A and B are shown apart, each in its own frame.
Chain A
Amino acid sequence: MSRPQALLDALQTTIVGQREVVEGLVLGLVAGGHILLEGAPGVAKTLACRALAVALGGVFRRVQFTPDLLPSDIIGTRIFDQRTGDFTTSFGPLFANVVLADEINRAPAKVQSALLEGMQERRATIGLQTHALPSPFVVLATMNPYDSDGTYPLPLAQLDRFLAKLVVAYPSLEEERTIVDRFGGAQPELPANVASLEDVVRWQREAQQVFVDAKVRDYAVDLVRATRGAELVAHGASPRAALALIALARARAYVEERPFASPDDVRDLAPAVLRHRISYDDRIAIADGDPEDVVQRIVAAVRAP
């Protein structure tokens, strides 16, 4: 019987800095959602995802998304077996507990769509047969915001499937020195089997029982509604954002072993939930504005209960 705090501690011994990213990954896992990570190359996006998978001891698959990828490459396909004279199913990397979709915006829309359908439905159809995906099932997708050449930007409707979008920033000076010391020689072993898959399923079930007061619920809804019609925002967040915000607030309270979600949970997690669910006005590019500032302004403008 492990607690999510143990997983959090284990990840933080591996990943230098990036506390919010590590916490976001664990919260996403507990909330049963999928996480999108955005950051420059080499800031430990993939390492964080791999560390999470190893710590859980489940099946981990990594798919490098490229323009020539096909849907069958991630879902699987039916192969003719000459010995038996029949077709057998070959499952793709989607059939794993933790799937790392590296550079998700480099694959064409058809592949993205196949992945996102699996994320939403938690099952995949190969040939005429539909197969349930394993439980727990979490997709961790990464995006590089700088190289936009040859990429296929994800539409808003598909971005909405991700529970949260975490921004992986460059490490601080001290953190960068520690990274060089820790990873400069032989690769350190990642902490394995900190929690079992059964633990994760239990966490997800128990987190759903965390109490959310009506005032906290209203605060989450107000924050989501404040994105609609906000300055420099073309389209605000959907009601799914309010659901995601409450789910993450519950997960955080659960990880902190608190029996109720607080306004602090909602306020702290709002940027991660809202930033990828908002489409920005063209004026933001003209004004050289930062979308993150827009989100922060929206969050700051709504009064906590």
Chain B
Amino acid sequence: MTSPAAKWLCFALLLALASQAQAQSLRRLHVDALSMRADRTELQVGQVFHLAIHVRVRENVQALDELVIPDLGTMQSLGDERHTTHAPGGTDVVETLTLEPTASGPFTFQPAYLDAVDARTGRPSRFSSNAVTVVVAGPSLLDSFAAQLIAVIERGALAALGLIVVIVLLTTLARRVARRPRRAVKPPPAPAPPPPPARTPRDVVADALRGFRVTPSAAQLLTLRGALFAAAGVSSGATLRDALAHAPDHRLRVALIAAERGAFGPEHARDAASMELVEATEAWLR
């Protein structure tokens, strides 16, 4: 069982410890000055101004992160620069905010502050600057009228230019259409003819034989020989032995040998070879 007095004692002890911990996290500083001012206090919406916060401490510090800037409200922040200047007597920190008012009316910047252990008293303290009030006026009637006038003129000029471009394009198009000869109306495509039946090697040989009969020239003989080779299953560039190796049909073999004799035999023997070739090929085709 714990008595209420004991509970209060514990609470007080915790508070003291928390305060001690906070004090231990604060820096010990001699704050000589903390001020805030605006480079203009009467301005218009959209007019950029600067708000400067100046802190001077006796200690030589690299930065002063404890400085808390005030809430900017409806002001739009365009930039924030912090300069630290070290001097024999201490450190000057100047934070400059570049702001643009977006709404008219008076606006008060609450004081900037920093928390530190006051080196003079040894106690945690909050050092605050002054507040700054700026008065933001709406845009002037004359300016607004001039701006509206300019905008109207701009829109009008753009519209006129667009209209001219459209007219020129339409005219050009109309001329081209007028020049173009009228196309006859295309009849619907006729249905594709049925594919020719696949040609067999025999068909090719028969065609080549017909060609050789009509014109018994050396070129026709080579065509017939090539068709016989293809019928044997070998491509051009092969030799008779290759073709014979692929041709088990005796009649085709006889035709192949006759074609070889006709193609490469001596001139005086070519007529006989040609006749033999024709007979052998016909026999194979039958």
Contacts of A264 in B (CB 8 A): 239-241
Contacts of B236 in A (CB 8 A): 303
Neighbour of A304 across the interface among B237, B261, B265, B269, CB < 8 A: B237
Residue of B nearest to A304 (CB): B239
Contacts of B261 in A (CB 8 A): 260
Neighbour of A267 across the interface among B239, B263, B264, B269, CB < 8 A: B239
Q: Is residue A216 within 8 Å, beta carbon to beta carbon, of the partner chain?
A: yes
Contacts of A215 in B (CB 8 A): 263-264
User: CA of A263 to CA of B265 in the docked complex: distance in angstroms?
Assistant: 11
Q: Is residue B21 within 8 Å, beta carbon to beta carbon, of the partner chain?
A: no
Residue of B nearest to A212 (CB): B264
Q: Is the CB of A211 within 8 A of B265?
A: yes
Q: Is the CB of B237 within 8 A of A213?
A: no
Q: In the complex, which residues 137-186 of chain B have their Cβ closer than 8 Å to any Cβ of chain A?
A: none
Minimum distance in angstroms from B9 CB to a CB of chain A: 96
Question: Chain A 248-266, CB within 8 Å of chain B: the 1/0 string?
Answer: 0000000000011111100
User: CA of A32 to CA of B30 in the docked complex: distance in angstroms?
Assistant: 122
Question: Chain B 10-34, CB within 8 Å of chain A: the 1/0 string?
Answer: 0000000000000000000000000
User: CA of A88 to CA of B236 in the docked complex: distance in angstroms?
Assistant: 64
Contacts of B263 in A (CB 8 A): 213, 215, 305
User: CA of A216 to CA of B266 in the docked complex: distance in angstroms?
Assistant: 12
Question: Chain B 235-250, CB within 8 Å of chain A: the 1/0 string?
Answer: 0111111000000000
How many interface contacts (CB-CB < 8 Å) are there between A and B? 34
Neighbour of A259 across the interface among B238, B239, B265, CB < 8 A: B265
Question: Chain A 137-160, CB within 8 Å of chain B: the 1/0 string?
Answer: 000000000000000000000000
Contacts of A267 in B (CB 8 A): 239
Q: Is residue B260 within 8 Å, beta carbon to beta carbon, of the partner chain?
A: yes
Q: Which range holds the interface residue count of chain B?
A: 10 to 19
Q: Is the CB of A262 within 8 A of B264?
A: yes
Q: In the complex, which residues 278-305 of chain A have their Cβ closer than 8 Å to any Cβ of chain B?
A: 303-305
Q: Is the CB of A260 within 8 A of B264?
A: yes
User: CA of A264 to CA of B236 in the docked complex: distance in angstroms?
Assistant: 14
Q: In the complex, which residues 16-57 of chain B have their Cβ closer than 8 Å to any Cβ of chain A?
A: none
Contacts of A216 in B (CB 8 A): 264
Q: Is the CB of B239 within 8 A of A211?
A: no
Q: A264-B239, A304-B237 are in contact. Are A259 and B260 (CB under 8 A)?
A: no
User: CA of A264 to CA of B261 in the docked complex: distance in angstroms?
Assistant: 13
Minimum distance in angstroms from A264 CB to a CB of chain B: 5
Q: Is the CB of B239 within 8 A of A263?
A: yes
User: CA of A254 to CA of B236 in the docked complex: distance in angstroms?
Assistant: 26
Contacts of B239 in A (CB 8 A): 262-264, 267, 304
Q: Is the CB of B265 within 8 A of A260?
A: yes
Minimum distance in angstroms from A272 CB to a CB of chain B: 17
Minimum distance in angstroms from A267 CB to a CB of chain B: 6
Q: Is the CB of A261 within 8 A of B238?
A: no
User: CA of A211 to CA of B264 in the docked complex: distance in angstroms?
Assistant: 8
Q: Is the CB of B269 within 8 A of A259?
A: yes
User: CA of A263 to CA of B55 in the docked complex: distance in angstroms?
Assistant: 106
User: CA of A215 to CA of B239 in the docked complex: distance in angstroms?
Assistant: 13
User: CA of A305 to CA of B242 in the docked complex: distance in angstroms?
Assistant: 13
Minimum distance in angstroms from B46 CB to a CB of chain A: 79
Neighbour of A262 across the interface among B237, B238, B240, CB < 8 A: B240
Residue of A nearest to B264 (CB): A213
Question: Chain B 217-258, CB within 8 Å of chain A: the 1/0 string?
Answer: 000000000000000000011111100000000000000000
Residue of A nearest to B266 (CB): A211
Q: Is the CB of B266 within 8 A of A263?
A: no
User: CA of A263 to CA of B241 in the docked complex: distance in angstroms?
Assistant: 9
Contacts of B237 in A (CB 8 A): 303-304
Minimum distance in angstroms from B243 CB to a CB of chain A: 10
Residues of A within 8 A of B (CB): 211, 213, 215-216, 259-264, 267, 303-305
Nearest 5 A-B pairs (CB), nearest first?
A303-B237, A211-B266, A213-B264, A264-B239, A260-B265
Name 13 A/B residue pairs within 8 A (Cβ), A-sorted. A211-B265, A211-B266, A213-B263, A213-B265, A259-B265, A260-B261, A262-B240, A262-B260, A263-B240, A264-B241, A267-B239, A304-B239, A305-B263
Residues of B within 8 A of A (CB): 236-241, 260-261, 263-266, 269
Known: A211-B265, A267-B239. 7 other contacts (CB 8 A): A211-B266, A213-B264, A213-B265, A215-B264, A260-B264, A260-B266, A305-B264
